[in-house]
A and B are shown apart, each in its own frame.
Chain A
Amino acid sequence: MSYFLTQVLNGLSFGLVLSLIAAGFAIVFTSTGVLNFAHGSVVLLGAYLVAVTQPTIGFWPAVLVGIAGAAGVGVLINALLVRNLADPNPGTAAILMLGVDILLLTELTRRIGNRVLPLGAPWGADTVRFAGIALPTGRVLAAVLAIVVFAGLWFLFARTRMGVGMRAAAADGPTASLMGIQLARTGATGWALAGVLAALAGVFLTSFPAPGIAPTVALSAFLAIPAWVLGGFDSVPGAVLGGLLVGLVTALTVGYESHLTFLGSGFGDVVPYVLMIIVLLVRPQGLLGSKEAVRV
């Protein structure tokens, strides 16, 4: 039983980190309609900034630098590239983002080389133990922080003028614009928020049980894509739910692989995508995505 609980908690805590990333994808999509494939490199960028600044300024100030850096780069990508697209359709923007991802990732890879940069987190390799279960302290903190962040996001979207404006802009940009909502501002806010979430996720994705910052972190961030898609492209709560589901199902598949040998080895790497496909077959709009109204 404690083994089952260990895998469940492993899965849920990792799932919440994936949720942070997936929510970033969803926020950029709702605020500017862009499929942001550069998000993985922004996650790596945030963690990289923390790692290189923490020896001189300390860990917590370095986290602020990482958050500011990732948010700033997000805003810049939006201001310089996305808003200046001659043909602002989602396909063009998605290809553009793939290009940005390659550029950012190449530069970060060049800087990191084959080193593993230590993150310098004060919780190191500490673990929290209860009822026979050992969970990395970093993951527990990540879970608590993610819950706080998601509560903050709910407040923002449900209770503030800016959040309501962002939702209106997402629902119908031209009409929202006519109602006096500044699309430039809601777009920039969305990209900045996604950057903040990316940097936070980067910190927890690279702290124990992961060893530190290596270029493969950007690959890990892509694990959040099935979470985002199965949650529904335009739903932040959907992204959170998707992340939790992907984390849980992956941990249980890996944990019970010896009982699942009929599925072949390495099924844990595939299961997020299998889950995504099953959900999309049943609910094409994703778990919590808004259904497109089609006039017939």
Chain B
Amino acid sequence: MTKTRPALVAAAACLFAVTACSTTEPESAGGGGSGDVETGTGVTDSAISIGVLTDLSGPFAAGAAVQVTEFQAYWDQVNADGGVCGRDVEMQVQDHAYDPQKAVSLYRSMSSDIVALQQVLGGPTSAAVLPLAEQDSVYVGGVGWASTALGYANNQLPGASYSIQGANAVDYLVDELGIEEGSSIGVVYYVGDYGADALAGAQHAAEERGLTVIPQEITPATTDLSAQASALVQEGASAVILGAAPTQLASLAGVLGSQGADIPIVGMNPTFNPALLNTPAADALLANTYSILSVAPYASDEPGVQEANALYAEADPDGATGWEVPLAYGQAELLKNVLERACDAGDLTPEGVVTALGSADDVDTEGIFPDGLDFTQPGESPTRTVFVTKVSDTAEAGLELLDTFEGPSAKSYTFG
């Protein structure tokens, strides 16, 4: 007894110290009802806290910075207009540097303060965070377009998945660019969830349309695609679909051009970067390169995109432009839509936000994403429509919008 008493006293002192250190006001910690809306973690009577886990010092730092600037400008504007559910939206940004371990630690430290994650940037980082966030019922927006993320009910995919992009690429080649039945098309893709997903969509569509796929697997270290391009020419490929990054697009286009192979190249959403138009591959890219986007390109004249671009130009007049600008704006718009649904349903707890996501159908973003996004079917892409763009030196940010497109094979693709 004499031994346990000091221990108890110490424990009580520690507990007291910890409680005293807490900066959160007991009544603002949520957990109870406020007005008609039930609130929980990350929501007080005056503020809604959301998180962003992004890469501000790793390989995607430059594009990530564009998106953070746009997110902040968007929520500042929303707050100036009265906020969401009568509350200001406050954004916490943390840098995971493209490191999954760090992303998990940051998620752990952030999850007790936020109601939703606006974004977890990057494939491996989001793959690490998504299962944890699902267990905690925390909404996660914007992790790229891999179909693997569709399996999580708490994830909101910003537009068509890579498989739908790949299937539409084949449909567009056949229906609009005159690739005939019986032809072969090359698919050059990264090993991993991005490239493999794009390949799955393209393979499905090729079977439907009577084409043969010549697959060429590469890694991010493959920056010289001479051997791949020569092989595709040798095997008589009539077109090439690319599920990789801008460096591979420039190399592929350049080598095909130098070999006199005038065949269309169709890249998935992440393959184009306006900086490529300053490289020696510019002429080849301008000749015959397309990009299938899940989000409208910067040069789109849809009202939503124009608004996104104007907001960004004001926030960072010298900032880099590209599809990241409308994408960030659109993702923030999707989260706002879900938060408003949760508010209307009277449940702004993290679980309530995820439930509201599951009820979001017919979501309209004024042309940033295809109209009528449907998030009510878990495991399904929210849309089967994509934006078809062509590389252009006259369009802003290098991509000219040709069409919105939904091919028959993209419609018939099934998620397994």
Interface set of A (CB-CB < 8 Å, partner B): 3, 6-7, 10-11, 14, 106, 109-110, 113-118, 121, 124-125, 127, 134, 136, 139, 205-212, 214-217, 219-220, 222-223, 250-251, 254-258, 265-266, 268-269
Residues A211 and B280 in contact, CB atoms below 8 Å apart: yes
Residues B59 and A208 in contact, CB atoms below 8 Å apart: no
**How close is A136's CB to chain B, nearest CB, in angstroms?**
7
**B254 contacts across to A, CB distance below 8 A:** 125, 208-209, 211
C-alpha gap A93/B344 in the complex (Å)? 62
**How close is A86's CB to chain B, nearest CB, in angstroms?**
30
Given known pairs A116-B275, A214-B247, A258-B235, the reply for A110 and B280 (CB within 8 Å) is no
**A118 contacts across to B, CB distance below 8 A:** 278-280
Residues B273 and A116 in contact, CB atoms below 8 Å apart: yes
Closest chain B residue, CB of each to CB of A257: B231
Residues B223 and A136 in contact, CB atoms below 8 Å apart: no
**A254 contacts across to B, CB distance below 8 A:** 216, 227-228, 231
Residues B275 and A255 in contact, CB atoms below 8 Å apart: no
Contact with A along B198-223 (1 / 0, CB 8 A): 00000000000000001111111111
Residues B61 and A113 in contact, CB atoms below 8 Å apart: yes
Residues A136 and B258 in contact, CB atoms below 8 Å apart: yes
The number of chain B residues touching the other chain, given as a range, is 35 or more
B174 an interface residue at 8 Å Cβ cutoff? Answer: no
Contact with A along B248-266 (1 / 0, CB 8 A): 0011001101111000000
C-alpha gap A256/B320 in the complex (Å)? 41
Q: Specify which of B224, B250, B279 is in contact with A14 (CB 8 Å cutoff).
A: B224
Given known pairs A116-B275, A212-B279, the reply for A6 and B230 (CB within 8 Å) is yes
B60 an interface residue at 8 Å Cβ cutoff? Answer: yes
Given known pairs A209-B255, A266-B217, the reply for A110 and B61 (CB within 8 Å) is yes
**B216 contacts across to A, CB distance below 8 A:** 254, 257, 265
Residues A208 and B247 in contact, CB atoms below 8 Å apart: no
Residues A109 and B58 in contact, CB atoms below 8 Å apart: yes
**B63 contacts across to A, CB distance below 8 A:** 113-114
Given known pairs A115-B273, A257-B231, the reply for A211 and B281 (CB within 8 Å) is yes
**How close is B168's CB to chain A, nearest CB, in angstroms?**
23
C-alpha gap A110/B55 in the complex (Å)? 11
**Which of A115, A127, A223 counts the most chain B CB atoms within 10 A?**
A115
Residues A268 and B227 in contact, CB atoms below 8 Å apart: yes
**How close is B69's CB to chain A, nearest CB, in angstroms?**
14
Residues B231 and A210 in contact, CB atoms below 8 Å apart: no
Cross-chain pairs A/B with CB under 8 angstroms, 13 sampled: A113-B61, A116-B273, A116-B278, A124-B280, A205-B224, A208-B254, A208-B280, A212-B247, A214-B223, A214-B247, A217-B223, A219-B221, A256-B231
- In B278-295, the 8 Å CB interface with A consists of 278-281, 283-284
B83 an interface residue at 8 Å Cβ cutoff? Answer: no
Closest chain A residue, CB of each to CB of B250: A211
Known: A116-B275, A136-B255, A220-B223. 15 other contacts (CB 8 A): A208-B280, A209-B251, A209-B258, A210-B223, A211-B280, A214-B223, A214-B247, A216-B223, A216-B247, A217-B223, A219-B220, A250-B227, A255-B227, A258-B214, A266-B191
Closest chain A residue, CB of each to CB of B255: A209
Residues A266 and B281 in contact, CB atoms below 8 Å apart: no
**A250 contacts across to B, CB distance below 8 A:** 227
Residues B60 and A114 in contact, CB atoms below 8 Å apart: yes
**How close is B392's CB to chain A, nearest CB, in angstroms?**
18
**B275 contacts across to A, CB distance below 8 A:** 115-117
**B62 contacts across to A, CB distance below 8 A:** 113-115
**A14 contacts across to B, CB distance below 8 A:** 224, 226
**B65 contacts across to A, CB distance below 8 A:** 113
C-alpha gap A29/B342 in the complex (Å)? 63
Q: Specify which of B59, B218, B258 is in contact with A125 (CB 8 Å cutoff).
A: B258
C-alpha gap A113/B227 in the complex (Å)? 28
Closest chain B residue, CB of each to CB of A211: B250
B276 an interface residue at 8 Å Cβ cutoff? Answer: yes
Residues A7 and B281 in contact, CB atoms below 8 Å apart: no
**How close is B238's CB to chain A, nearest CB, in angstroms?**
16
Residues A258 and B250 in contact, CB atoms below 8 Å apart: no
Residues B273 and A255 in contact, CB atoms below 8 Å apart: no
Residues A116 and B218 in contact, CB atoms below 8 Å apart: no
**How close is A220's CB to chain B, nearest CB, in angstroms?**
5
**Which of A10, A250, A266, A269 counts the most chain B CB atoms within 10 A?**
A266
**Which of B223, B226, B281, B320 counts the most chain A CB atoms within 10 A?**
B226
B412 an interface residue at 8 Å Cβ cutoff? Answer: no
C-alpha gap A10/B230 in the complex (Å)? 9
Q: Specify which of A7, A110, A214 is in contact with B227 (CB 8 Å cutoff).
A: A7
Q: Specify which of A134, A136, A215, A258 is in contact with B59 (CB 8 Å cutoff).
A: A215
Closest chain B residue, CB of each to CB of A127: B258
B57 an interface residue at 8 Å Cβ cutoff? Answer: yes
Closest chain B residue, CB of each to CB of A14: B224
**A216 contacts across to B, CB distance below 8 A:** 220-221, 223, 245, 247
**How close is A89's CB to chain B, nearest CB, in angstroms?**
29
C-alpha gap A97/B174 in the complex (Å)? 52
Residues B250 and A269 in contact, CB atoms below 8 Å apart: no
**A211 contacts across to B, CB distance below 8 A:** 223, 246-247, 250-251, 254, 276, 279-281
Given known pairs A211-B280, A220-B221, the reply for A10 and B215 (CB within 8 Å) is no
Q: Specify which of A134, A220, A258 is in contact with B231 (CB 8 Å cutoff).
A: A258
**How close is A55's CB to chain B, nearest CB, in angstroms?**
11
B225 an interface residue at 8 Å Cβ cutoff? Answer: yes
Given known pairs A110-B57, A208-B254, A219-B220, the reply for A251 and B284 (CB within 8 Å) is no
**How close is A115's CB to chain B, nearest CB, in angstroms?**
5
Sorted from nearest, which 5 A-B pairs have the closest CB atoms?
A113-B62, A211-B250, A266-B217, A125-B280, A219-B221
C-alpha gap A116/B273 in the complex (Å)? 8
Residues B276 and A3 in contact, CB atoms below 8 Å apart: no
Given known pairs A210-B247, A212-B279, the reply for A7 and B221 (CB within 8 Å) is no
Residues B259 and A134 in contact, CB atoms below 8 Å apart: yes
Given known pairs A210-B251, A211-B254, A269-B218, the reply for A109 and B61 (CB within 8 Å) is yes
Given known pairs A14-B226, A116-B247, the reply for A265 and B258 (CB within 8 Å) is no
